Amino acid sequence: MKWTLRNYFVNMEVSSLGGALSSIIDRDGIEYLWQGDARYWSGQAPVLFPICGSLRDDQAQFQNGGKTAMPRHGIVRKKNLPAISVGRTGFSFQSRVMRRCCSSFHTNSPLQFPTA
Do the domain assignments include residue 56? yes
pLDDT of residue 101 exceeding 80, the answer is no
- Report whether the peptide linkage leading into residue 50 is cis, meaning its omega lies within 30 degrees of zero: yes
| Domains: count for the chain | 1
Tens of pLDDT along 29-52?
A: 999 988 888 888 887 888 888 889
Using CA atoms in the order 32, 4, 75, 110, what is the torsion angle rounded to 10 degrees?
100
Do the domain assignments include residue 101? yes
Do the domain assignments include residue 113? no
pLDDT of residue 108 exceeding 70, the answer is no
Do the domain assignments include residue 70? yes
Do the domain assignments include residue 114? no
Mean pLDDT over 70-82 rounds to 83
